[in-house]
Structure 1
Amino acid sequence: MTISFKVNGISHEVDSNRAIDRLIDFLHDDLGLSGTKFCCGIGICRACTVASIRTPNETATPVISCATALAMVDGTEITTIEGVTPKEGLLPIQEAFLQEFSFQCGYCAPGYVIASQIFLDGLRKLGSLPSDLDAAIEKAVGSHICRCTGYVRYYDAIRKTAEAMFAKEGSHNG
């Protein structure tokens, strides 16, 4: 029996005897993908957040890879920071984080990028900003821990990116 899943669009199969191995260890040790950060090891800080899609659902959800066994990702598509970042350039949210000086050490940044991009993609599917954007941002990334205390700057960057996304889309629709 095997566990099958994709990481950044590439199919992988592991023997079921690895069912309890952590996803983050597979990403680091088997695939050499070190962008997903290991920090607390117990799923609290969220530095290790990756995106997961389970077919037929097309909506990504955040997954805490340090606390997720490989058995739990069977049949999913996982996207890491390496897979979400365009080959050339950066995502608008990454640019915003840089412009707002959101982080100092950057250790939490990959988790914030993944969670923020999932949030922004969800807003795009809704087609509008929520009436309380700040509360929605808090719900999306409020559990992420930044030891350098970049919270306000992260939130400002997410808010500005969301607002710009709809201002840009609105100019194309009008």
Structure 2
Amino acid sequence: MTISLTVNGVAYQIDDSRADDKLVDFLHEDLNLTGTKFCCGIGVCRACTVQVSKPPNPATTPMISCSTALGILDGSVVSTIESVAQDGVLDEVQQAFLDNFSFQCGYCTPGFVMASRMFLDDLRAQPVPADQLEDAMMAAIGSHICRCTGYVRYFEALRPLAEAANTGQEGQR
């Protein structure tokens, strides 16, 4: 038996004897995708957040890769931070974080980027009332831990993107 998994567009078959292996270990050790960071190891800090969907449902969800066993990901599609920039061009979230000096050491940044991208996708699909946008941002990235205390700058960088996504005004900034 095998576990079928797609990571950043590439399909993998993993022997089911590895069902208890953690996703972050598979990403680092087998695929040499080290952008997803291992920090607390118990799913609290969220530095290891990746994007996961399980067809036929196209909806994506943030997944904590340090405490997620490969066995529960059978049939899933995983996107990591390595899939975000295209042809050397930063994604809008990455660029906003860079422009706003959101991070210091950058260790937590991949988790913030992945969660923020999913948040913006969700806003585009289902906008929230303007007076609930701050709460929605808090729900999306508020539980991520930044040991350098860059929280305010992450929120400041994300806010204009969230406002544009929430109102369909993207590209008119």
TM-score normalised by the chain length of structure 1: 0.93
1:109-144 deviation digits (Å, cap 9, x = unpaired) = 000000000000111112x35431110000001110
* Aligned partner letter, 2:162: A
Higher helix share: 1
Q: How many residues align?
A: 169
Distance 2:164 2:89 in 1: 18
Provide the residue aligned with 1:101 in structure 2: 101
Provide the residue aligned with 1:159 in structure 2: 159
1:42-75 deviation digits (Å, cap 9, x = unpaired) = 1100000000011121111000000000001111
Provide the residue aligned with 1:144 in structure 2: 144
1:2-59 deviation digits (Å, cap 9, x = unpaired) = 0001000100011110000000000000000000001001110000000001112111
Distance 2:128 2:93 in 1: 16
Structure 2 contact 104–148 (Cα < 8 Å) conserved: yes
- TM-superposed CA distance for 1:160, in Å, is 1.2
Distance 1:42 1:72 in 2: 17
95-104 or 107-116, which deviates more: 95-104
SS in 2 for 1:59: strand
What do you get for the CA RMSD once the two structures are aligned? 1.2
Give ranges in structure 1 of 5+ residues lacking alignment. none
Give ranges in structure 2 of 5+ residues lacking alignment. none
1:134-163 deviation digits (Å, cap 9, x = unpaired) = 100000011100000011110111111122
Distance 1:130 1:149 in 2: 29
SS in 2 for 1:67: coil
- TM-superposed CA distance for 1:79, in Å, is 0.1
Provide the residue aligned with 1:3 in structure 2: 3
Distance 1:2 1:43 in 2: 26
- TM-superposed CA distance for 1:87, in Å, is 2.3
Provide the residue aligned with 1:91 in structure 2: 91
SS in 2 for 1:40: coil
TM-score normalised by the chain length of structure 2: 0.93
- 2:120 is the alignment partner of 1:115: no
Provide the residue aligned with 2:64 in structure 1: 64
Identity in percent = 56
156-165 or 38-47, which deviates more: 156-165
Structure 1 contact 37–48 (Cα < 8 Å) conserved: yes
Provide the residue aligned with 2:53 in structure 1: 53
